[in-house]
Amino acid sequence: MKALKGRDFLSVASLDSSELQELLDLAIEMKAGKVKPRCEKVLGLVFYKASTRTRVSFSTAMYQMGGQVIDLNPSVSQVSRGEPLSDTARVLDRYLDVLAVRTFAQKDIEAFAHYAKIPTINALTDREHPCQALADLMTVKESFGQTKDLTLTYVGDGNNVAHSLLIGCAMVGMNVRVATPAEYQPDADIVEQAKAIAGGRSEVLVSNDPAAAAKGAHALYTDVWASMGQEEEARTRIPLFQPYQLNEELLKFADGDAIVLHCLPAHRGEEITDGVIEGSQSRVWDQAENRMHAQKALLASVLGAL
């Protein structure tokens, strides 16, 4: 993946369709031990939001390649005292080889990428979660041997995960359906972007009907009903989102060999039942592990370690 060397990864759409497929294949090969990159570089993590999987998976991926990681917690850096983002980014550019930023506004990660010459990776913003989508698509490809002509249905909040899935599925030729309450649909511009990428070759559907969206799907996916920063309204959302729970009844509408996905952390009994997440069709733990493999492939590619 020499074409990715030195590039930023701010959105799934930072790649073209062939690059995305190549990256997924590379991640699968790395997981199987067929490709073992060495990369004695330094990754900086700037996380304004709490993290378990993203922090540990990036760190482990870098360590396994022979690199180092510096956890730049904003609360113990000059960022907490008001240092401009532009100044921080230009200084980190002089010390590090690659930067992963987990923050709120998309414009902030775009600013990091603008001021830092090193590759900048979106480790989550309110708009997108592209590294999660890499792991999700990798898990589907592992499970079915392909992505084309399959259908992934996402139910719940039309959030950053839904946004990245819409774009990512369209790019790899998967049908993607998103079912949400009317007030919580994904951003219209993201939906239009996904439809443009699909070009009529695959389905991009947004609806309020979870059963219809789940019919015949090969993957059913959900996320928490209130994302980070929305905790105060979480309780009030439950009655509205209850019809969108990924439960045993909804799973019956899907294909008989369908898999269940959740990006975690999960609120069992809310967006997903315990029986479904622990059931035989769940691939949630493979999906979580694949964060590390997908991000290792991404890091090796942008650092030119292949």
For residue 184, the 8-state DSSP code is G
Q: CA dist 117 to 7, 96, 113, Å?
A: 9, 10, 7
Return the amino acid letter for 255: D
Catalytic annotation on 157?
A: no
d(CA 198, CA 205): 11
CB contact burial 39-48 (16+ within 10 A = b; e otherwise) = bebbbbbbbb
114 is catalytic: no
Q: Give the span between the Cα atoms of 21 and 27, in whole angstroms.
A: 10
Catalytic residue among 8, 53, 97, 129: 129
Edge-to-edge strand list for the sheet holding 175-179:
204-207, 175-179, 151-155, 219-222, 259-262
Q: Catalytic: which of 245, 263, 283, 293?
A: 263
> Which residue in the list 131, 177, 223, 295 is annotated as catalytic?
223
262: enclosing H helix or E strand? strand 259-262
132 is catalytic: yes
Residue 6 φ then ψ, to 5° = 80, 0
What is the three-class DSSP state of 220? strand
Active site residue 283: no
Contacts of 130 (CB under 8 A, 6+ apart): 9, 10, 11, 12, 14, 122, 164, 168
- Per the residue annotation, which of 8, 53, 127, 132 is the catalytic one? 132
Q: Which of 21, 53, 102, 193 is catalytic?
A: 102
Answer yes or no: are the C-beta atoms of 283 and 139 closer than 8 Å: yes
Q: Is 223 a catalytic residue?
A: yes
In total, the chain counts a number of residues equal to: 306
Q: Active-site residue 129, yes or no?
A: yes
Question: 3-class SS at 282?
Answer: strand
Show which residues are catalytic: 102, 129, 132, 223, 263, 291
